[in-house]
Structure 1
Amino acid sequence: MHINLPTWLTLFRVALLPVMVVVFYWQFPGHNITAAIVFILAAITDWLDGYLARRLNQTSAFGAFLDPVADKLMVAVTLFLLVEAHRGGWPGIVMAVTAAIIVGREISVSALREWMAEIGMRAAVKVAFVGKLKTAMQMVALVVLIVQHEKSAEALRLYHIGEGLLVIAGVLTIWSGFYYLRAAWPMMRGEPPHRDGVETDSTSHSTNA
């Protein structure tokens, strides 16, 4: 099997995950900032592999499968790290509940897409703007939360900013989840598909939703 450049970038993103975990827990000066840089690099490859796949016309079945897996892993692993690092009290509860909402939504939408693909209607649940907005808010929130140092007053303020952004991302997560469920609901009821407001662009290698 030939692996093209976009897919190599996706594989690189997966390889960055254990690096981020090690850096996150390795208590050297500036480890949080370094972990955030690794996360940002992974996020950049997420955008870049989709751009190159379209620009170079190098889409592939393996790349289409691997790209959303890498995206979900990147977000889920980062959320687990942050939940573990901020256990206890209301901040920990808010973090855990928001993480559960985000991860649960990703699993649900992935299952929904798989079912829609089985019945030949995957185009009805293509990525929508609200899904892209959710992803962008998620990335910013996670970077802020990775960077924060909880031991100082300045860091606590930064943490609360990141926490607020993550809650907003959680709300957008629920909104976008209902968006995709609404698009698929007619097929679940055995009715003709309702496509109003559903984006049907199928050229993207990246599937951030």
Structure 2
Amino acid sequence: MNLPNLLTLFRFILIPLYLGLFFSDVPHRMLWAFGVLLLAGLTDVIDGYLARKNGQVTQLGIMLDPLADKLMMLAVFLSLLISGRITLTAAAAIFIRDLGMIIASAIFHFRGKITVPANVMGKLTTVLYYVALSLLIFDVPDAEKFLWGVIAFSFLTSLIYLFQFKLINQRSM
């Protein structure tokens, strides 16, 4: 197990920590929850950088890294739904897209297909989701309108990802 993969596993631990803080009575709970979210984002950047820099990119990491990202995002959006900061429609769109990506990645991986690593569009989608989450956590006006733009962009990136997956697996046959 290399350091980038350990950092990815650490992000899985941050998910219940975020939820615990978000729904707690701790003073400044939103700041603490937001801090955990930022830590998750920072470890995501660091593990990817270290994996590429040190030649430690692994199939396990390629599969676990986006899974950790998506599960964290799902947890955050679930907390925002439960707290009334986003509508059920927005949450459903996000859940459908992310669960679809998780299930498809797992199926492809276990069928021995080559998984497409994160690309610039996927990274931009993640950054935009973090901006939207920040706006929503701190109740910024029109945050959900911005979120809908990010949701639309995320569906576009999913289509691009599926196209790349098809191309990379056709070439490897």
> Which runs of no fewer than 5 residues in structure 2 stay unpaired?
none
- For 2:158, the equivalent position in structure 1 comes to 177
Between structure 1 and structure 2, the one with the greater Rg is: 1
Which of 17, 20, 24 is equivalent to 1:19?
A: 17
> Which runs of no fewer than 5 residues in structure 1 stay unpaired?
149-157, 196-209
Which has the higher mean CA deviation after the structures are superposed, 38-47 or 138-147?
Answer: 138-147
Which amino acid is the alignment partner of residue 64 of structure 1? I
1:185 Cα deviation from its structure 2 partner: 7.0
Higher RCO (C-alpha under 8 Å, 6+ residues apart): 1
- Tell me the TM-score normalised to structure 1 length: 0.69
1:140 is the counterpart of 2:147? no
Mapping of residues 180-199 of structure 1, within 5 Å: 180-183=161-164, 193=170
Which of 100, 107, 123 is equivalent to 1:108?
A: 100
Q: Provide closer, same or farther for how the CA distance between residues 173 and 8 of structure 1 changes in structure 2, counting only shifts above 3 A.
A: same
- For 2:74, the equivalent position in structure 1 comes to 76
Query: Contact between 2:121 and 2:157, CA under 8 Å: does it hold in 1?
Result: yes
- Tell me the TM-score normalised to structure 2 length: 0.82
Q: Provide closer, same or farther for how the CA distance between residues 59 and 185 of structure 1 changes in structure 2, counting only shifts above 3 A.
A: closer
Which amino acid is the alignment partner of residue 136 of structure 1? V
1:119 Cα deviation from its structure 2 partner: 6.9
CA RMSD of aligned residues (A): 2.7
- For 1:198, the equivalent position in structure 2 comes to none
Q: Provide closer, same or farther for how the CA distance between residues 68 and 126 of structure 1 changes in structure 2, counting only shifts above 3 A.
A: closer
Q: Provide closer, same or farther for how the CA distance between residues 32 and 57 of structure 1 changes in structure 2, counting only shifts above 3 A.
A: same
Count of residues paired in the alignment: 170
Query: Contact between 1:101 and 1:174, CA under 8 Å: does it hold in 2?
Result: no
